[in-house]
Amino acid sequence: MTGRKPVVGIPASVFNVRQFPLHAIGHLNATATARVSHCHPMVIPALGDDIDARDMVGHLDGLLLTGGASNIEPHHYEGPPARDGDMHDPERDSTTLPLIRAAIDAGVPVFAICRGFQEFNVALGGTLHQFLHEVPGRIDHRRDRTKPMQAQMGVCHDISLRKGGLLAEMAGAETTGVNSLHGQGIDKAAPGTTVEATAPDSTIEALSVNGARSFAVGVQWHPEFDAEGNNFYRALFEAFGAAARARTEQRRETS
């Protein structure tokens, strides 16, 4: 790699540790960004309105939305009230949703994973199923916590990739296997997006933004769990990194 490495912003989740709020991202998201996308990962604290989204994306070459333990507050997509005990992270919601819209508008590459995929859909006008396993005809997409961690994170079902689509090109096939660790899922895909992949039960597993100026893709699974070893997962992070480098070069030429 030559020249300045792209900077990829990764919005944090808020965790309370001994009653102190901390802003954190997953280690594997950072290492996949650094080792496979070949970009500098930068944590964006979940400060909501204290961050000017349009100004922030002006400093970025890419935006990575990650998974998380919490769910998006349903008022963001006019969903029914959450059940008691459902974990939310309103600071993250108020940070990521504007950042997604601002990044796509500015042509900043966006790669959204799991909770980030759901944020991606909601930010663009889509809706969610809050309890996907309770929807008739759907399988349980949650991980089996009784299994060893490696098995929990391993490939557990196939997905069908859109013929001729972006992900099918990366996979070199129209079907491939992915892991599954989510309790919520896409109900209605956002206007202006294309479904790039579906699970055997018709659950939407990936979306892309129609006519986006750069890479703008969300996936429901967790490619960061084997980003260096799984060829398809690696291809996703490599494509995101290539788009971020193109953004870096564009910024250099116009500065």
Residue 78: C-alpha distances to residues 21, 102, 149 (Å): 28, 21, 35
pLDDT at 1: 46
Q: If the chain, 255 residues long, is cut into consecutive pieces of 10 residues, what is the mean pLDDT of each piece?
A: 85 93 96 98 97 98 96 97 93 98 98 98 98 94 84 90 97 96 96 98 97 98 96 98 96 83
The pLDDT assigned to 141 comes to 87
The alpha carbons of the chain give a radius of gyration, in whole angstroms, of 17
Write out the two tokens for 151. 């098995």
Q: Spell out where 19-125 has E strands.
A: 20-24, 40-44, 62-65, 110-113
Question: Domains in the chain, ordered, with CATH?
Answer: 7-254 (3.40.50.880)
How is residue 53 annotated by DSSP? Answer: H
The predicted pLDDT at position 151 comes to 82
* pLDDT value of position 3: 73
What positions carry a catalytic annotation?
114, 222, 224
Q: How far apart are CA 43 and CA 27, in angstroms?
A: 11
